[in-house]
């Protein structure tokens, strides 16, 4: 173990133990061949890479309070919020490959559209802290009179998020519905009991229908999105790129994808 580089970092959200204790610190080990094999597959499971490299969660004084492999894998990782996963991914990239991140972008200026290479120092990424890390559910009193409960997205939602973004259909509605937990205390699967909700996709489909019916107003849906965003903790991965060909400057999100963990990546 001693030859492995490790890093301890403060999480934007933190892991909440089953008995309600908030653990804000996590320790990672650097990536090894096992992780390279995952990255080298055709559909790499990035969350698996993070889970492999997570060696402890805890407090500032005791950052590896939980270090048991099985507990980390089966209890901690599935419950980590997506903002924490994204933060860990950035830290893992820095630990394993260094903070210099090379990326290639296409200029959005339609008169130019030229490709250019940039380097970003990942150590400059700041954290958007979760305003209330103890609060894991968000409640919305809908105009319809119902009480809607929403949750934060977790690392385990990554696969579904990829599916949604690739579906090219009702992406906004699906993203919102993915957060829906219950309406007036009744869970999505309970409310959709006459439908099949065995898989994640079926659950999402049911949530979309329920939410569309309960909150048809685009304005109200936008307000819910703002509430969810405000309550979130995450790395701020917006970067500003300047095109060396035409001088255009624009902001875009750094890609947190398999390419992010490779020595260089294209966006
Ligand atoms: Zn340009």
Residue 109 lies in a domain: no
Q: Are residues 143 and 67 in the same domain?
A: no
Q: Band of the pLDDT at 258, cuts 50, 70, 90?
A: low
Pairwise CA distance, residues 215 & 207, whole Å: 12
Pairwise CA distance, residues 192 & 212, whole Å: 14
User: What are the tens digits of pLDDT across the range 145-164?
Assistant: 999 999 999 988 888 988 89
Helix, strand, coil share (%) of the chain residues, nearest 5: 40, 30, 35
Given a contact cutoff of 8 angstroms between Cβ atoms, the answer to whether 192 and 214 are in contact is no
Given a contact cutoff of 8 angstroms between Cβ atoms, the answer to whether 137 and 150 are in contact is yes
Phi and psi for 119 in degrees, rounded to 5? -125, 135
pLDDT surpassing 90 at residue 246: yes
Span from the CA of 250 to the centroid of ligand 1 (angstroms): 10
Q: Are residues 142 and 67 in the same domain?
A: no
Please count the structural domains in the chain: 2
Span from the CA of 264 to the centroid of ligand 1 (angstroms): 21
Residue 129 lies in a domain: no
Residue 128 lies in a domain: no
Span from the CA of 248 to the centroid of ligand 1 (angstroms): 5
DSSP, res 135 = -
Q: Are residues 90 and 143 in the same domain?
A: no
Q: What is the pTM (predicted TM-score) of this model?
A: 0.87
User: What are the tens digits of pLDDT across the range 17-68?
Assistant: 999 999 999 999 999 999 989 888 887 888 889 999 999 999 999 999 999 9
Q: Are residues 19 and 66 in the same domain?
A: yes
Residue 119 lies in a domain: no
150 closest CA partner among 237, 202, 221, 77: 221
Beta strand ranges found along 64-201 (DSSP E): 100-106, 115-121, 126-128, 137-141, 147-151, 180-183, 186-187
pLDDT surpassing 70 at residue 109: yes
Percentage with pLDDT > 90 across the chain? 70
Q: Are residues 79 and 160 in the same domain?
A: no
Identify residues whose C-beta is under 5 A from ligand 1, the ion. Answer: 107, 109, 112, 243, 245-246, 248
Q: Are residues 91 and 146 in the same domain?
A: no
Span from the CA of 120 to the centroid of ligand 1 (angstroms): 18
Q: Band of the pLDDT at 3, cuts 50, 70, 90?
A: confident
Span from the CA of 101 to the centroid of ligand 1 (angstroms): 21
Residue 192's domain comprises 137-230
């Amino acid at each position: 173990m001693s030859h492995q580089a490790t890093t301890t970092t403060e999480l934007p959200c933190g892991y909440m133990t089953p008995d309600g204790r908030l653990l804000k610190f996590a320790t990672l080990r650097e990536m090894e061949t096992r992780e390279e094999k995952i990255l080298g597959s055709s559909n790499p499971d990035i969350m698996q890479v993070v889970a492999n490299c997570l060696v402890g969660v805890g407090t500032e004084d005791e950052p590896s309070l939980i270090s048991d492999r099985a507990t980390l894998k089966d209890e901690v990782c599935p419950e980590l919020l997506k903002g924490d996963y994204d933060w860990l991914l950035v830290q893992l990239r820095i630990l394993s490959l260094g903070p210099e991140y090379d990326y290639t972008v296409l200029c959005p200026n339609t008169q130019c559209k030229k490709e250019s290479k940039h380097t970003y120092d990942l150590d400059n990424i700041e954290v958007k802290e979760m305003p209330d890390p103890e609060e894991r559910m968000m409640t919305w009193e809908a105009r319809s009179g119902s009480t809607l409960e929403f949750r934060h997205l977790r690392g385990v939602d990554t696969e579904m998020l990829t599916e949604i973004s690739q579906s090219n259909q009702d992406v906004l509605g699906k993203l919102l519905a993915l957060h829906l937990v219950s309406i007036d205390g009744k869970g999505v699967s309970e409310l959709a009991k006459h439908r099949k909700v065995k898989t994640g996709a079926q659950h999402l489909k049911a949530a979309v229908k329920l939410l569309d019916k309960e909150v048809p107003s685009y304005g109200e849906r936008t307000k819910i999105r703002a509430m969810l965003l405000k309550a979130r903790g995450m790395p701020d991965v917006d970067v500003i790129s300047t095109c060396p060909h035409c001088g255009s400057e624009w902001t875009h999100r750094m890609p947190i994808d398999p390419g992010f963990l490779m020595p260089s990546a294209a966006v």
